[in-house]
Structure 1
Amino acid sequence: MTPLDASWLAEHPLPPPGTDLDKNSRGHVVVAGGSEAVPGALRLTGEAALRAGAGKLQFATAERLALPLGMLVPEAAVFALPANPAGELDAAAGDALCGYLMRCDTLVLGPGMGPDAAAEAILEAVLARPRATLSLVLDAAMIGAATDLAAQIHAHEGRIVLTPHPGEMMRLMGCDETRIADDPAGLAQEAARRFNATVLFKGTETWIACPREGLLRYPGGGPGLATSGSGDVLAGVIGGLMARGAVPRLAAAWGVWLHGEAGRRLAERIGPLGFLARELPAEIPRLLATIR
């Protein structure tokens, strides 16, 4: 086990930004998900991806949310996906989403999706089209949907990051709370092997496991990060770094550190509790500059 700290990051730098001014050279992120019950989640994820340095952002969300989301985040293009009567993405959204991915570098799938979304059908459609130039972050509802899709995830040859919290990990791995409490590090490594993916197991401390790579441990960014929308921000930071060219394990490690240290900075400035998830992304560029 290796501690994830500033020294590790300095020894494992992110790919340097290009010298040209073309936004496409810094990566194209699609953030897909959302629901009428959680309409703002994608805003958090998308803004975090841009703050992490991605060059181009597109949203894909339930049709009734597309216009207001586009107005809220004018930096992004927005695509409407079919929704069911509950205001969640329905099964037809999977094929529709795939039509927007041909020029995408990284897809962040799942933020803001609830229990009534056709998560498994959407994920199956996306996973059925592996592409060497496409990486994925599977978050929130997509973690549970991945449970029986290990073979399909394997086909993406390590280009996927899974971001479970304890409840999602129990569903993903079919384990109980005792296993979560007694062996989080071993569980993260087992999940990484089963899915041939980078697994970021979130909690008071975070474990990052990747097949054939050493286990990383981050001690946590403080209790203030246990707040609504915090995970959506983390998924966006990782997606933005992957779009810039960072391999999944590197992006996950940097994403966890940036997210945690942003929480520490806000705790010092505002207080240990009470800062908002939407305040985290603005800290990311300054943190990136300190390590670089």
Structure 2
Amino acid sequence: MLRAHTVEEVRAAEAALMATLPEGALMQRAASGLAYAVVDLLGGAYGRRVVLLVGSGDNGGDALYAGAMLARRGALVEAWLLSATVHEAGLAALRGAGGRVGTPRPGTAFDVVVDGIVGIGGRPGLRDDARDALEVLGGVPVVAVDTPSGVDVDSGAAPDDHVVADLTVTFGTHKACHLLDPASLACGAVELVDIGLDPYLPPASVEALQPEDVAAMLPVPDPEDHKYTRGVVGVRAGSAAYPGAGLLSVAGAACGLAGMVRYDGDESVLALVRAAHPEVVGPGRVQAWVVGSGSDTGAEQALRDALADDVPVVVDADALAFADLARGTDAVLTPHAGELSRMLGVDRDAIEAEPLAHARSAAREYDAVVLLKGRHTVVARPDGRVRVTTTGTPWLATAGAGDVLGGVIGALLATGLDPFDAASAGSWLHGAAATLAAQDGPIVASDVAVALPDLIAGMGR
């Protein structure tokens, strides 16, 4: 499990660790990891031109010590000091290793910029001098120290003025901004350097599943299992106006995780379902429902009928207009930003600027698991715990993909996973299947459903 901690949690862990170490040892660990990452990025150190953008915080000290290490390996290192106060010992180390202090000026060629402007405790945004320095260095690859300067570390928000890194080297643990959009878009690749914080960190409230986590969650049939004991998922989706939504919801549910899929909906959709999925049967008892995709005017009644069965429910698309009915039940609500905007009465732009805050707010308000779809989907529980999905491909932004996702989550609910696990594992599988299907090219939603069984089988191996 990839875990992300808050600034307060990291600061407390650092203080506890530093009490056990000689003075300056923790910064040396961080600087060493940073220097090695820069060397790896550049393919060597000797003769490379490195510029350090140095602010007043510990990130500036990390950059200066890393610069000293690079200079000792033959790099030409120059520090641009963007604060009247910098880490004096780090600056002395840089000068002692042959590095120098310069000033922002156009026309100077560098191979890499090390962003040590603002630490994790800094306010979002950049001052004019930092913005001007970055403008002079436009086009040069950027390595951010811990987090890109200017982003909001805990919320994942990204003001207009912030560093956009090609690589972010972070220390001890990930931070929320490494996982959450829009800030994660500014991080580039993220490399974690172990500096010994783990024993001092509390459980994280923001996580990202990894393949081994998902594999451990997936149901594996026992020899004595049969179709009913493996879970039965029901789908109430689609309509005469939107038959494809029902078919795609069934396709996601029929990925093989559950023992049986039932379709209970519009007769015109049923004919399509039978033609594409002859194994799908009609109405009957289920262990979970998937409701709402393309349900049109029938969404409210479909949701009421599903909730009457007192089993977990995926509430999607048209049914989200009636999400109040599912308040406090074992439900997974699956809005995109526009749908959540209507559910919360909040502007869509505000939701996209801070998806973490709004997903948590919706989970509290509706007393249910909320899956906020996006490039990095956010799954939130009412108690504030969050998982972020980092699998997927831009090609997944295609009509009907959310219908498939709802079906997959419903299948996992039917097998007995709780709503939080079903939503986060289902979202991970959905993104990974899209990547497998796309192979760096375009896909449609049905391709994702087709790729799921092979993905799941490969995870088992």
Note whether the superposition's TM-score is higher than 0.5.
yes
* Deviation of 1:215 (Å): 1.0
Aligned residue-pair number: 255
What does residue range 1-292 of structure 1 map to in structure 2 within 5 Å? 1-9=206-214, 13-78=217-282, 100=284, 103-114=285-296, 117-127=297-307, 129=308, 131=310, 134-146=311-323, 149=324, 152-156=325-329, 159-212=330-383, 214-268=385-439, 271-273=440-442, 275-292=443-460
* Deviation of 1:121 (Å): 4.2
* Deviation of 1:52 (Å): 4.2
SS of aligned partner of 2:258:
coil
SS of aligned partner of 2:388:
strand
SS of aligned partner of 2:254:
helix
Partner AA of 2:246 in structure 1: L
The structure number with the bigger radius of gyration is 2
Partner AA of 1:63 in structure 2: E
> Contact 1:233–1:281 (CA<8 Å) still a contact in 2?
yes
How far apart, in 2, do the equivalents of 1:190 and 1:112 lie?
A: 26
How far apart, in 2, do the equivalents of 1:179 and 1:247 lie?
A: 30
Q: 1:68–1:47: structure 2 CA closer, same or farther, 3 Å change rule?
A: closer
Between 1:66-75 and 1:118-127, the stretch displaced more is 118-127
How far apart, in 1, do the equivalents of 2:256 and 2:367 lie?
A: 25
How far apart, in 1, do the equivalents of 2:242 and 2:448 lie?
A: 19
> Contact 1:58–1:78 (CA<8 Å) still a contact in 2?
yes
> Contact 1:241–1:251 (CA<8 Å) still a contact in 2?
yes
* Deviation of 1:242 (Å): 1.0
* Deviation of 1:202 (Å): 0.3
SS of aligned partner of 1:26:
coil
Partner AA of 1:291 in structure 2: M
Q: 1:71–1:286: structure 2 CA closer, same or farther, 3 Å change rule?
A: closer
* Deviation of 1:155 (Å): 4.3
> Contact 1:165–1:203 (CA<8 Å) still a contact in 2?
yes
How far apart, in 1, do the equivalents of 2:218 and 2:273 lie?
A: 30
Q: Larger relative CO (CA 8 A, sep 6+): 1 or 2?
A: 1
**Percentage of pairs with the same residue:** 35
How far apart, in 2, do the equivalents of 1:123 and 1:9 lie?
A: 29
How far apart, in 1, do the equivalents of 2:322 and 2:431 lie?
A: 27
* Deviation of 1:120 (Å): 3.0
> Contact 1:170–1:177 (CA<8 Å) still a contact in 2?
yes
Q: 1:227–1:208: structure 2 CA closer, same or farther, 3 Å change rule?
A: same
SS of aligned partner of 1:172:
helix
- Unaligned runs of 5+ residues in structure 2 are 1-205
Q: 1:21–1:124: structure 2 CA closer, same or farther, 3 Å change rule?
A: closer
- Unaligned runs of 5+ residues in structure 1 are 80-99
CA offsets, 1:219-271, max 9 Å, x none? 35111111111111111111111111111111111111111011111221xx4
TM-score for both structures, normalised by structure 2: 0.52
How far apart, in 2, do the equivalents of 1:47 and 1:118 lie?
A: 21
SS of aligned partner of 1:40:
helix
SS of aligned partner of 1:23:
coil
* Deviation of 1:213 (Å): 5.7
TM-score for both structures, normalised by structure 1: 0.80
SS of aligned partner of 1:29:
strand
> Contact 2:233–2:286 (CA<8 Å) still a contact in 1?
yes
Q: 1:181–1:213: structure 2 CA closer, same or farther, 3 Å change rule?
A: closer
SS of aligned partner of 2:406:
helix
* Deviation of 1:63 (Å): 3.1
CA offsets, 1:190-234, max 9 Å, x none? 111111211110011100101236211123511111111111111
* Deviation of 1:125 (Å): 4.6
* Deviation of 1:67 (Å): 3.4
CA offsets, 1:42-100, max 9 Å, x none? 22221221214111111112234333432332111235xxxxxxxxxxxxxxxxxxxx4
How far apart, in 2, do the equivalents of 1:64 and 1:25 lie?
A: 30
SS of aligned partner of 1:249:
helix
How far apart, in 1, do the equivalents of 2:334 and 2:274 lie?
A: 26
SS of aligned partner of 1:77:
coil
Match of 1:92 in 2: none
Match of 1:93 in 2: none
* Deviation of 1:7 (Å): 4.6
> Contact 2:238–2:245 (CA<8 Å) still a contact in 1?
yes
SS of aligned partner of 1:200:
strand
CA offsets, 1:144-199, max 9 Å, x none? 222xx2xx42342xx11011011111111111023212210011111111112111
